[in-house]
Chains A and B, each alone.
Chain A
Amino acid sequence: MAISETPSAGPAKETLSACPVQPASADPSNAVVKTTRRDFLKAGGMLSMSSLMGTAALMTQSDDAHAAVEWAEHFQKNYRLMTAEEKAEAKARLERRYSAEYGKQVSVDTTDAQPGVLMGYALNIRKCIGCRRCVHACVAENNQSRGKERAGEKIEWIQVLRMERGKFEQEKMNHGYPEGLGIQVGGNAYTPAGLVLEGQYHYNPEKVPEADATYMPIACMQCEKPPCVKVCPVRTTYREPDGPVVIDYNWCIGCRMCMGACPYWARRLNVTNPVLPKEEMNPVTHYLGNRPRMRGVVEKCHWCLQRTRHGRYPACVEVCPVGARKFGNLLDPESEVSKILQRKNVFRLKAELNTFPKFFYFYD
């Protein structure tokens, strides 16, 4: 209140004020009482703070890197609001903790978006043979939980969808007609294509590609208008300036609003404590990318930020045996993705939702 700051402002100003209650500090006698009370509270607060600080100091001094880091992590800001120093502190803290935890030198990168880069992805849907190598390359790169014992312990970001090829058959020419004088609803000479509810993710034949199937890998589409970002109540997921939609895992509360909002089933929740064996852990990590996650946070594809921010292809692109996966800079007219957009037949998945993915499907 402005009036309490200027107690000697004069009667003219006081009449202007509509406030019916006189400010407490205006009366010097009252102010004395208030000050003492405030001092008392302040002292109490200081006392409790100092005891907490003491505990923190004790925890920091202990050898348990995990405990010290936990303490600091609870008080750190959202990544986007951190200053450069705070980012450096968080990076050092995490590197110390992960290195102790996984028994090797772990780096946590905080490289920002590079100017002049807008990442884009294209997938040749005609070439995909459904071998799932991208799925497992992603797991090897991105430190997902990979337990086998309990449900939800194994997390994969890419899903390969098997879709049937439909056909029309002579034998079914008489199907779909009513007996007698019923209402004709049309024929059933077809075997429906792709009408298997959500498709098959758990297909496991001896060899792929199968004769009667096509395959469609889906993962995060890195939308330009991401619905997940719109719904996040703590604003911990957001679109980076170079394209990918990322998550500050520390601020995720695990509410799963984003999982409900995503039309591409791209997001995964760490339901259990992530199972990440030391020897399989990838020590090159990014703060917004593949650093090890905790229980109760959501994660998803981020186009291997730890690689792509340094110019390297994402892991899934590098292992695709048929070269169906393409990645590049959309702002560079010479990049492979730009060339595909110029030359090939391209579509976006669920384009009608106006999410404007930067992940394009194409075919020859």
Chain B
Amino acid sequence: MKKIAIYATILALSGGGLYSVVAAEKTAEPAAAAATTATEAATAAPTEPLVCFESRKGASEITQQDIKPGWPNVKCSPTTGAALWYGDPFEGTVPMGKMPGLENLPEGHALVKPRSEKLAILPMCGTACHNGVGPQFNPPTLPKDKKPTAIPTMEGLVPDLANFQHGRGRIWCLDCHHTTQRNKLVDNFGDPVSFDQPQLLCGKCHGDKLRDWRDGIHGKRIGEFASNGKKRWFTCTECHNPHNVQDGVRNRGFIQLQPEPSPQLPRGMANADHEKVHPIPH
């Protein structure tokens, strides 16, 4: 309730600026970020905590702190702010929950970092508008069928929707989001799926990727390398933004990001221009 209250305050403060309040993710929101760190601030040093992103900017993040003297939970890159080294790979994780194909793993060996904590407007989705009981929404204005309709409010909330490319126009909101429970995703049978388990949804279409992910070939796992070891699994949306699969500047697979610094030049070498010289002129 406290969390909801915070968001409600933010919502009230920004007045007409609903657009500015609810970017899809918390990172861009200093107020929301402050709310996250508020709990830790009591125990942590007064200095600004160092927060680094894990796979891509805007997805999961981790706050640097010492587990024991001289042993941080994470080391962050001073150049890019990316997480570079894990002292504790399981920090902030919860059990993955039921996942078909992974039943043989020992209890508590499959962990994920909850995505719902990162999604800024998620707590509001089911209460503020899509609660189905508010005066304006009584009876709730649910779509009659699955035909796509432009929803200006939602486009205001998630700017990526203006040029929505996922599925190349063959899918729309309610193919992934639950019709009546908007803080849930939806599986093939219309049953709600938690935002912490997007693999159950994404696997509906991307079955080959789901199979590879389940076997550890696609995606990322950290922790113990043994096949039945304790691992933190990175879920689909920690690396991919489903609302923006065709990033304009990106040219393949993964969103573009800043690289870490290049290696030191050997003695007597002023620059690395020789690398660009082709042995065969063309």
> Which residues of A pack against B, CB within 8 Å?
104-105, 124, 126-127, 129-133, 135-137, 140-141, 148, 151-154, 156, 159, 172, 175, 188, 190-192, 195-211, 279, 283, 308, 311-313, 315, 317-323, 326-329, 332, 334-336, 339-340, 343-344, 364
Contacts and interface: CB of A to CB of B under 8 A. Distances in A.
B224 interface: yes
A289 to B, nearest CB: 15
Nearest to A340: B217
B258 A206 contact: yes
A104 B217 contact: no
11 contacts: A131-B257, A131-B260, A152-B264, A206-B258, A207-B259, A210-B251, A313-B225, A318-B85, A318-B222, A322-B55, A322-B253
Contacts of B257: 129, 131, 207-208, 321
B111 to A, nearest CB: 14
Interface of B: 54-56, 69-71, 75, 77, 82-86, 89, 212, 215-229, 234, 239, 249, 251-254, 256-269, 272, 274-280, 282
Nearest to A315: B85
Contacts of B220: 320-323
Given A135-B260, A200-B272, A332 B226 contact: yes
Given A197-B275, A339-B217, A321 B225 contact: no
Contact of A335 (B70, B226, B265): B226
Main secondary structure of the interface of B (DSSP, over half): loop
A132 B252 contact: no
B230 to A, nearest CB: 9
A130 B280 contact: no
Nearest to B252: A209
A322 B82 CA distance: 13
B70 A104 contact: yes
Nearest to A362: B217
Nearest to A126: B253
A132 B257 CA distance: 11
Given A127-B253, A329-B225, 8 more contacts: A104-B69, A133-B260, A151-B268, A156-B263, A188-B282, A196-B275, A208-B256, A334-B228
A323 B219 contact: yes
A151 B216 contact: no
Contacts of A154: 263-264
A156 to B, nearest CB: 5
Contacts of A335: 216, 225-227
A189 to B, nearest CB: 10
A159 B263 contact: yes
Nearest to B89: A318
- Nearest first, the 8 closest Cβ-Cβ pairs linking A and B are A202-B272, A336-B216, A323-B220, A151-B267, A132-B260, A154-B264, A334-B227, A207-B256
Contacts of A196: 275-279
Nearest to A141: B85
B64 to A, nearest CB: 13
A197 to B, nearest CB: 6
Given A151-B266, A206-B258, A329 B282 contact: no
B77 A133 contact: yes
B254 A192 contact: no
Contacts of A131: 82, 257-260
Contacts of B55: 321-322
A153 B260 contact: no
Nearest to A323: B220
Nearest to A204: B262
Contacts of A313: 89, 221-225
A321 B254 contact: yes
A140 B76 CA distance: 10
Contacts of B278: 192, 195-196
B225 A308 contact: yes
Nearest to B56: A321
Contacts of B56: 321
B95 to A, nearest CB: 20
B254 A209 contact: yes
B261 A132 contact: yes
B85 A209 contact: no
B259 A132 contact: yes
Contacts of A133: 77, 82, 84, 260
Nearest to B274: A197
Given A283-B70, A339-B217, A208 B224 contact: no
Contacts of A148: 264
A61 to B, nearest CB: 29
B224 A311 contact: yes
